[in-house]
Amino acid sequence: QTQTPTSKIVLITGASSGIGEATARRLAADGHLVVLGARRVDRLAALVAELRVAGGTAEHQELDVTRLDSVRAFVDGAHERHGRIDVLINNAGVMPLSTLDAGRVDEWDHMIDVNLRGALHGIAAALPLMRARGAGHIVNVGSTAAYRVDPTAAVYCATKFAVRALSEGLRQENPDIRVTVVSPGYTRSELLDRGGDPEVRAAVRAASDSLAIPAAAVADAIGYAVAQPDNVDVNELVVRPTALS
């Protein structure tokens, strides 16, 4: 599809499933060029092929957000190919739930590495390029867990509170850069499939699964923020199932 004057170069981390995948679909359909990153490159390749058949413009690259060199290669590669980066969506995340007394320290570290360090790595890689141009948009995917704490989610909530805090600092320090936090409530995805205490996982599923909103609902919120004019910065959007507090 021909790039329209309003089409943007949009980088999405964690685009191989769930909210990232839905966001890739939404933004490609809106006419943007999407650059998709994640570790499961087979998934990304299939998605890129599908988006292209549908008339979109999409590329993919292997990405591990826990590694600064990987994030730099992802961002710099897109910048070299296209001459600019308009939007970076720090979406990659993990949520292995357990109580603190279970002491699953490796999973705590992994959550901090992906959810918090991953977003910081994206900022470290993209912000200088955006500042040099005097324009850009960083979208961080937060969570309702950035606003409230629940048992079994203490570390996950800590990472998401932190993502919200650093987003506010990023916004205050950079008046030429748009900063958005999109915070979903329970959303249908693969987030609960990996790690955590199996009993907790089953309990959360039983309580929430039937109420989960589709990932496309969150993608629509991201699409809304991206679509605003350059002088309009949507700072925070919370999108949750109507029936869940």
Strands (E), the chain: 9-13, 33-38, 57-62, 87-90, 137-141, 178-184, 236-239
Q: Is 191 in the site for ligand NDP (CB under 6 A)?
A: yes
| Interatomic CA distance for residues 43 and 84, integer angstroms | 26
* C-beta closer to ligand NDP: residue 177 or 215: 215
H or E segment at 34? strand 33-38
Asked if 64 touches ligand NDP (CB under 6 A), the answer is: yes
Residue 65 binds to ligand NDP (criterion: CB under 6 A) = yes
Of the pair 1, 208, the CB lying nearest ligand NDP is at 208
Q: Which is nearer to ligand NDP, 57 or 159 (CB)?
A: 159
Cβ at position 113, least distance to ligand NDP in Å: 7
Where are the extended beta strands (E) located within 52-208? 57-62, 87-90, 137-141, 178-184
Contact between 196 and ligand NDP by CB under 6 A: the answer reads no
Closer residue to ligand NDP (CB): 20 or 136: 20
Out of 147, 156, 186, 224, the active site residue is 156
47 binds ligand NDP (CB under 6 A): no
Q: Residue 197 CA to chain centroid, in angstroms?
A: 24
Nearest alpha-carbon partner for 99 in 148, 150, 144, 151: 151
Q: How many CA atoms within 13 Å lie on the side-chain side of 161?
A: 10
By CB under 6 A, tell whether 18 contacts ligand NDP: yes
Can residue 107 be called a binding residue for ligand NDP (CB under 6 A)?
Answer: no
* Dihedral sign (CA 216, 219, 221, 223): negative
**Residue 92 makes contact with ligand NDP by CB under 6 A:** yes
DSSP string, 137-170: EEEEE--GGGT---TT-HHHHHHHHHHHHHHHHH
Residue 83 amino acid letter? G
Smallest distance from ligand NDP to CB 157, Å = 11
Tell whether residue 190 is a contact of ligand NDP (CB under 6 A): yes
Give the nearer residue to ligand NDP in terms of CB position, either 73 or 230.
Answer: 73
The answer to whether residue 186 is catalytic is no
Should residue 143 be labelled a site residue for ligand NDP when binding is judged by CB under 6 A?
Answer: yes
- Is 24 a binder of ligand NDP (CB under 6 A)? no
CA distance linking residue 46 with residue 146, whole number of Å: 32
Which tokens is 164 given? Answer: 């919200």
Catalytic residues: 156
Q: Using CB under 6 A, list all residues that contact ligand NDP.
A: 13-20, 38-40, 63-66, 91-95, 114, 141, 143, 184, 186-187, 189-191, 215
